[in-house]
């Protein structure tokens, strides 16, 4: 069973049909919608600020979601994939976004819908990522527009696949 820990009077709340790996950790002021998945060694730590997630969000192995006390909370929309070992810290991510493996988003980053953030990218504090583009690099910069093939073939496909993968572990 995943570690679900209350802190400061807040207990994590998750919606219907969610999957929590045995060593996933959810702490404090965390709320998520339905069909979300929290994979092995992921940590969603709402001890210092609220974390809100929509439906069909997958937090992959080793990813960390956090914020900064009295400074930044984390908001994640629907249909979002947070890649292995990514760090989301006090950022807002709209719907239909793929955050690549090992990417880092710092405080007050705002990611519009339909964005792909490449593996290893570092998005600096207070950066806004415009809808419909691929971002990569250190610091992350706009690389190219996303075609329908990347929106449907990557962002939506991966989010959908994680619902399927979670089903394998629930049975």
- What CATH number is given to the structural domain containing 28? 2.160.10.10
| φ, ψ (nearest 5 deg) of residue 127 | -85, 145
Given its phi and psi angles, is residue 52 left (phi above 0), alpha (psi -120 to 50 degrees) or beta?
Answer: beta
Overall average pLDDT of the 4-10 stretch: 98
Q: What is the pLDDT of residues 78-130, one digit of tens each?
A: 999 999 999 999 999 999 999 999 999 999 999 999 999 999 999 999 999 99
Token look-up 């593996």 returns 119
pLDDT at 10: 98
pTM equals 0.96
Q: How far is the CA of 35 from the CAs of 17, 43, 126, 143, 161, in angstroms?
A: 5, 18, 30, 31, 12
| Tally of CB atoms within 10 A around 164 | 8
Provide the number of structural domains found in the chain. 1
- Average pLDDT, rounded, for the chain: 97
Does residue 83 sit in helix, strand or coil?
coil
């Amino acid at each position: 069973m995943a570690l679900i820990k209350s802190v400061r009077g807040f207990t994590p709340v998750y919606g219907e049909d969610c999957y929590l790996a045995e060593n996933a950790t959810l702490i404090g002021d965390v709320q998520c919608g339905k069909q979300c998945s929290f994979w092995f060694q992921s940590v969603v730590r709402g001890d210092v600020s609220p974390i809100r997630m929509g439906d069909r969000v997958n937090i992959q192995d080793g990813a960390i979601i956090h914020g900064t006390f009295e400074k930044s909370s984390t908001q994640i929309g629907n249909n979002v994939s947070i890649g292995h070992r990514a760090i989301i810290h006090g950022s807002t991510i709209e719907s239909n976004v793929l955050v690549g493996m090992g990417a880092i988003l710092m405080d007050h980053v705002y990611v519009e819908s339909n964005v792909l953030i490449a593996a290893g990218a570092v998005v600096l504090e207070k950066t806004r990522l415009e809808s419909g583009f691929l971002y990569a690099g250190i610091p992350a910069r706009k690389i190219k527009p996303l075609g329908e093939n990347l929106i449907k073939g990557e962002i939506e496909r991966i989010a959908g696949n994680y619902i399927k993968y979670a089903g394998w572990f629930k049975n």
